[in-house]
């Protein structure tokens, strides 16, 4: 795929497509040196686009096979995409951070964030950043209109993400500079520490631990540039079509969030799914919409608490509602769950990692396996807001035995408790699923199980294909009680969600069940870049990204069998109560996982891509990791 064997050409031989700034900043924190790299040539760009695939391709070329996730040789690549920051589409806000996962140690780690930071990185002149080495002291990177600079971060080391944002904005003297940073959890190498940006946003799943291991507190960006656009008129037209099908947040927050759609909420470590008074008092709180850059979906909200034990606290939340279920799971309800959600974002821990660990310990307390003599006097009682708040601080600072266990994750907690505790863990490959109770649903469960374990999974399927895919997809509606068709539905939705991310779009902005949702995204890409992508080519780009993800893990010892074998037993137990009582995907495993791999051009047991898959995707250079038979 490389031209003249060069990933980053000294001089471009192909024209830079629209949408790209053309440069990636390489930062070596050990030496304090920085270098501009030219973006790869057009054939590589067109295949990989940006986001996960382009960042991962760089990592595949540069990360040693024996690298440790938190070792000095580890690297992170942060990449935007061509539609990021044009301002003429909704959802053009994404940055994706790619790294070797500290949660699993051998699969891909990935976090992706919306908000403003990615837009301002491009305004500062860069499509992406490669972070390598270890700084000798706490450091932050400031990129101001094409000028990168490493600065002393000692003033903000130890601070939460909110204070860090405010202090660094003040320090650089630019009121609308944008900050991507870590809290104490990242500094102390909590393995699920996340990157936090623009108050309401996070790139979750361990990027914060990578920053912490490199003594990098933050990247602050500011600038005035805009990505060049190939055909502005056509982009406006495509962007308007995209806006028409956008799902918009009403700003009313009076329910238990996504759990209501799933008809299940995790209670008491996934031992009940019943939704009761979880949202009590939410209607008293004051909700303010906090839209991302030029996106009318307005998912993020600030919530001023006027109910519960901490009135006056303002929570800053993003799309999704995993941060709610995170605290419903250990028995907290009402606005106290929102108070704790604000706190976990401030200390900077990915929410399900904390929730799944704490819930195992609380279950052990309930069952008499733990008492105050083993918990430094703390009482691990369901719904105890102050104890959970204390445990958040301990996990963020790796304070004491329990702080370390919660920082290392739920399987470590269970190992330390012993007895049957390992049966109560919810995890996939030692990572944790996005924190909802997905168990009643084939599509979402399959998505969680086949994900890398170190990232937010992609896909989830749908009962019918998107209307934009009717020219090629004739199936559906699928039956929620019959596994037939769900693996293909997962494959297809994973491809189009991957594609949206690669071009720098936010998948929350794509209402794929509505006509023109996917076509308007493809047309936005074409108008921005000057390319002539079809939807099929976009889906192939999504598959390419997924296959590269497999190759990265294969190189480090993963095989597809791990997907259904390395799953916490509680996650596969039959649904304990409610409308879907007794349902479990477990009886259809491994068949569904194997079908998923077969349908996406990979061997059902090894997960290795077949040679014709590599050839179709132009990835022959990775044939060593292909399946020969």
| Distance linking the first and last C-alpha atoms of the chain | 24
Q: Segment near ligand SF4 (CB under 6 A), from 37-45, 292-300, 514-522, 601-609?
A: 292-300
Structure tokens at 254: 């009076």
Instruction: Choose the binding region for ligand SF4 from 430-438, 446-454, 504-512, 583-591 (rule: CB under 6 A).
Output: 504-512
Residue 609 is a binding residue for ligand SF4 (CB under 6 A): no
Nearer to ligand SF4, 102 or 501 (CB): 501
> Tokens 């540039």, residue?
225
Question: Binding to ligand SF4 (CB under 6 A): which residues in 84-123?
Answer: 90-91, 93, 114
Interface residue with ligand SF4 among 57, 339, 508, 571 (CB under 6 A) is 508
| Shortest reach from residue 239's CB to ligand SF4, in Å | 13
User: Cβ neighbours of residue 338 under 8 Å, at least 6 residues apart?
Assistant: 282, 285, 303, 305, 308, 315, 317, 324
Nearer residue to ligand SF4 within complex by CB, 416 or 509: 509
Stretch that binds ligand SF4, among 140-148, 267-275, 371-379, 505-513 (CB under 6 A): 505-513
CB closer to ligand SF4, 74 vs 114: 114
**3 state DSSP class of 411:** helix
- Closer residue to ligand SF4, CB minimum distance, 91 or 457: 91
What minimum distance in Å lies between the beta carbon of 35 and ligand SF4? Answer: 31
Residue 391 DSSP class: H
In angstroms, give the least distance from the CB of 92 to ligand SF4. Answer: 8
Tell me how far, at minimum, the Cβ of 458 lies from ligand SF4, in Å. 15
CB closer to ligand SF4, 107 vs 511:
511
Both tokens of 240, joined, read 């308007």
Are 469 and 519 in contact by the 8 Å Cβ rule? The answer is no
Calpha distance 241→237 (Å, rounded): 6
Q: Do residues 567 and 427 touch, judged by C-beta distance below 8 A? A: yes
Q: CA dist 136 to 27, 143, 217, 337, 533, Å?
A: 14, 20, 12, 38, 46
Which one of 298, 417, 525, 543 is in contact with ligand SF4 (CB under 6 A)?
298
Give the integer Cα–Cα distance in Å for 214 and 299. 32
**Cβ contacts of 201 within 8 Å, gap of 6 or more:** 113, 114, 115, 117, 292, 300, 318
Closer residue to ligand SF4 (CB): 182 or 297? 297
x/- letters, 430..459, toward ligand SF4 (CB under 6 A): ------------------------------
In the complex, the smallest distance separating the C-beta of residue 54 from ligand SF4, rounded to whole angstroms, is: 20
If the CB atoms of residues 88 and 417 are measured against ligand SF4, the closer one turns out to be 88
Residues between 303 and 342 with contacts to ligand SF4, criterion CB under 6 A = 319
* DSSP run (H or E) holding 288: strand 286-289
Nearer to ligand SF4, 78 or 299 (CB): 299
Look up residue 106 and give its two tokens. 């051998």
Does 297 sit near ligand SF4 (CB under 6 A)? yes
Q: Going edge to edge, which strands form the sheet with 147-152?
A: 147-152, 139-144, 216-222, 178-181, 195-197, 201-203
Question: Binding residue for ligand SF4 (CB under 6 A) from 56, 265, 292, 426?
Answer: 292
Q: Residue 287: in which H helix or E strand, if any?
A: strand 286-289
Neighbours of 567 (CB within 10 A): 23
Query: Which CB, 114 or 285, lies closer to ligand SF4?
Result: 114
Q: Token digits for 123? A: 């305004």
* Interface size with ligand SF4, residues (CB under 6 A): 14
Query: Which window, 96-104, 214-222, 506-514, 531-539, contacts ligand SF4 (CB under 6 A)?
Result: 506-514
Of the pair 297, 469, the CB lying nearest ligand SF4 is at 297
Q: Centre a 10 Å sphere on the Cβ of residue 32 and count the other Cβ atoms it contains.
A: 12
Q: How far is the CB of 140 from ligand SF4 (least distance, A)?
A: 25
In the chain, the largest separation of any two C-alpha atoms, in whole Å, equals 69
Nearer to ligand SF4 among residue 292 and residue 478 (C-beta): 292
Q: Does 245 bind ligand SF4 (CB under 6 A)?
A: no
Nearer to ligand SF4, 91 or 568 (CB): 91
User: Residue from 295, 341, 361, 492 that binds ligand SF4 (CB under 6 A)?
Assistant: 295
Q: What is the DSSP string of 174-204?
A: -TT-EEEE--HHHHTT-TTB-EEETTTEEE-
Q: How far apart are CA 324 and CA 336, in angstroms?
A: 10
d(CA 39, CA 467): 35
Figure out which of the listed residues 119, 195, 221, 506 binds ligand SF4, where binding follows CB under 6 A: 506
Q: Are strands 178-181 and 195-197 parallel, antiparallel or unpaired?
A: antiparallel
**3-state SS assignment for residue 129:** strand
Contact 51, 58 (CB under 8 A): no
Considering the complex, what minimum distance in angstroms separates the CB of residue 320 from ligand SF4?
Answer: 8
Query: In terms of CB distance, is 226 or 367 closer to ligand SF4?
Result: 226
SS3 category, 572? helix
Please identify, among the stretches 171-179, 224-232, 352-360, 503-511, the one whose residues bind ligand SF4 according to the rule CB under 6 A: 503-511
The radius of gyration of the chain from alpha carbons, rounded to an integer in Å, stands at: 23
From 291, 308, 454, 487, residue interacting with ligand SF4 (rule: CB under 6 A): 291
One residue of 245, 509, 518, 575 binding ligand SF4 per CB under 6 A: 509
Residues binding ligand SF4 (CB under 6 A): 90-91, 93, 114, 291-292, 295, 297-299, 319, 506, 508-509
């Amino acid at each position: 795929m490389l031209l003249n064997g060069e990933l980053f050409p000294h001089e471009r031989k192909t024209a830079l497509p629209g949408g790209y700034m053309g440069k990636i900043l390489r930062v070596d924190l050990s030496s304090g040196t920085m270098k501009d790299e030219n973006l790869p040539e057009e054939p590589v760009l067109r295949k990989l686009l940006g986001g996960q695939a382009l960042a991962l391709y760089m990592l595949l070329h540069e990360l040693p096979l024996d690298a440790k996730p938190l070792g000095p040789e580890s690297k992170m690549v942060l990449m935007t995409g061509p539609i990021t920051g044009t301002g003429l589409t909704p959802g053009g806000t994404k940055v994706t951070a790619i790294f070797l996962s500290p949660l699993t140690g051998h699969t891909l780690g990935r976090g992706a964030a919306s908000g403003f930071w990615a837009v301002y990185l491009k305004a500062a002149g860069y499509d992406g950043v490669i972070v390598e080495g270890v700084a000798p002291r706490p450091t932050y990177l400031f990129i101001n209109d094409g000028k990168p600079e490493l600065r002393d971060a000692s003033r903000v080391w130890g601070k939460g993400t909110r204070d860090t944002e405010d202090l660094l904005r003040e320090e650089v003297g630019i009121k609308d500079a944008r900050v991507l940073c870590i809290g104490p959890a990242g500094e102390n190498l909590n393995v699920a520490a996340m990157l936090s940006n623009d108050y309401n946003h996070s790139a979750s799943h361990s990027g914060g631990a990578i920053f912490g291991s490199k003594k990098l507190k933050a990247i602050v960006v500011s600038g005035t540039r805009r990505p060049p656009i190939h055909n502005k008129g056509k982009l406006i037209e495509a962007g308007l079509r995209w806006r028409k099908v956008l799902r918009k947040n009403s700003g009313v927050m009076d329910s238990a969030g996504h759990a209501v759609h799933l008809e299940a909420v995790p209670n008491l470590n996934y031992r009940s799914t019943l939704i009761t008074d979880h949202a009590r008092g939410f209607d008293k709180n004051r909700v303010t919409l906090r839209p991302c850059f030029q996106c009318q979906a307005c998912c993020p909200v600030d919530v001023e608490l006027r109910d519960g034990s901490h009135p006056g606290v303002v929570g800053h939340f993003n799309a999704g509602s995993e941060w709610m279920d995170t605290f419903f799971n250990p028995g907290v309800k009402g606005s106290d769950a929102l108070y704790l959600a604000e706190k976990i974002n401030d200390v900077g821990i990915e929410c399900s990692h904390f929730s799944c660990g704490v819930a195992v310990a609380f279950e052990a307390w309930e069952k008499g396996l733990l008492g105050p003599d083993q918990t430094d006097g703390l009482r691990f009682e369901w719904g105890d807001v102050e104890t959970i708040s204390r445990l958040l601080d301990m996990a963020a600072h790796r304070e004491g035995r329990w702080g370390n266990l919660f920082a290392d994750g739920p399987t470590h907690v269970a190992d330390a408790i012993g007895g049957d505790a390992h049966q109560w863990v919810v995890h996939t490959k030692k990572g944790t699923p996005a924190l909802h109770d997905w168990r009643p649903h084939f599509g979402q469960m399959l998505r969680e199980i086949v994900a890398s374990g170190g990232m937010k999974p992609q896909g989830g399927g749908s009962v019918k294909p998107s209307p934009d895919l009717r020219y090629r997809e004739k199936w559906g509606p699928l039956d929620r009680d019959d596994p037939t068709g769900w693996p293909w539905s997962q494959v297809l939705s994973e491809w189009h969600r991957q594609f949206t991310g690669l071009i720098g779009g936010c998948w929350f902005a794509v209402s794929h069940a509505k006509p023109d949702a996917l076509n308007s995204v493809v047309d936005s890409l074409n108008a921005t870049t000057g390319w002539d992508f079809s939807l099929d080519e976009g889906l192939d780009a999504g598959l390419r990204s997924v296959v590269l993800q497999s190759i990265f893990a294969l190189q480090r010892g993963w095989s597809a069998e791990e997907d259904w074998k390395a799953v916490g037993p509680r996650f596969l137990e039959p649904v304990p109560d409610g409308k879907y009582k007794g349902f479990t995907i477990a009886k259809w495993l491994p068949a569904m996982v194997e079908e998923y791999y077969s349908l996406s051009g990979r061997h059902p047991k090894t997960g290795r891509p077949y040679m014709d898959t590599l050839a179709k995707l132009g990835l022959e250079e990775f044939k060593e990791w292909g399946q020969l038979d």
